[in-house]
Structure 1
Amino acid sequence: MPGGEASQPGRSRPIDLAQLSRQTMGDRELEREVLGMFKEQALAVRSRIDKADIKERLFLAHALKGSARGVGAMAIAECAGAIENSPTDRIILKRLARLIDEACDFIASINR
């Protein structure tokens, strides 16, 4: 499968396709479905997390962290974990938004 346009040369892909394949037992249609659900969740979190109160922000970050690990979006999982540790850090919130954008671009590129 091709890489996403937002992925910079020399960087790892936003989604670990080997991890995703293990989780879906190599079923390509299931991979597309799982990535579609992850993309929807990630975009919903992206739109809500910045304005959320601390309790909701922690909930959103925790849920996204688990989903991200499941599809192999490890940079998103790590960033969501950092938000759990520092929920008011604006730099981490901005990084999460950027990582989500990169992952969504990557997902779109492999589903063409």
Structure 2
Amino acid sequence: MKDLDSAAFGKPGGETCEPSKARPIDLVHLSRQTLGDRALEQEVLGMFVVQLAAARENLAAANEADRRMIAHTLKGTARGLGAFKLGDCAAAIEDTPENEALIARLSKAIDEVHDFVAAINR
């Protein structure tokens, strides 16, 4: 299995990372989704970071219906990549799009994912 060669596991210090759904991205889940292809992991994470920036920008000004749509899209993408905390927050926004506290929590989760991706790609 190529789990140790993928994502942060292939970077200095990454070998000490344990699979965890508490991390911004569960790297073992991501590796399974990309069949251990490190280049594909980097490409997918890069696209995800771009998607997150657009979502953050659009959520603030969006009406409730648009927030639901944005949250639904983020939920699926995040969970597919192993960003479970972010995906769960997006699911909550999908249910209650008027909840500003959830929007703030999602913004924090986006920052965490962004910082995590930047750290594993250095």
Give the TM-score normalised by structure 2.
0.82
Over the matched positions of the two proteins, sequence identity in percent amounts to 51
Report the alpha carbon displacement of residue 78 of structure 1 after superposing the two structures with TM: 0.2
Alignment RMSD (CA, Å): 1.4
Considering Cα pairs closer than 8 Å and 6+ residues apart, tell me whether 1 or 2 has the greater RCO: 1
Aligned partners of 1:13, 1:74: CA distance in 2, in Å? Answer: 8
- Structure 1: segments with no counterpart, 5+ residues: 4-10
Q: Which one of the candidate residues 45, 49, 54 is aligned to 1:44?
A: 54
Larger radius of gyration: 2
Q: Structure 1 stretches (4+) deviating beyond 4 angstroms?
A: none
Is 2:84 the counterpart of 1:91?
no
CA distance in 2, matches of 1:94, 1:29: 32
Provide the secondary structure at the position in 1 that maps to 2:61.
Answer: coil
Counterpart residue number, 1:25 = 35
Q: Indicate the SS of the match to 2:39.
A: helix
Q: Report the counterpart of residue 70 of structure 2 in structure 1.
A: 60
Aligned residues: 105
Structure 1 residue 12, shift from structure 2 partner: 2.7
Shift of 1:56: 0.9
- Taking the aligned partners of 1:57 and 1:12, their CA distance within structure 2 comes to 25
- AA in 2 matched with 1:49: L
Partner residue of 2:85? 75
Q: What is the rounded CA distance, in whole Å, between the counterparts of 1:41 and 1:65 in structure 2?
A: 12
Match of 1:35 among 45, 52, 64: 45
Q: Is the 8 A contact 2:59 2:70 kept in 1?
A: yes
What TM-score, normalized by structure 1, do the two folds share? 0.90
> Which secondary structure does the structure 2 equivalent of 1:105 belong to?
helix
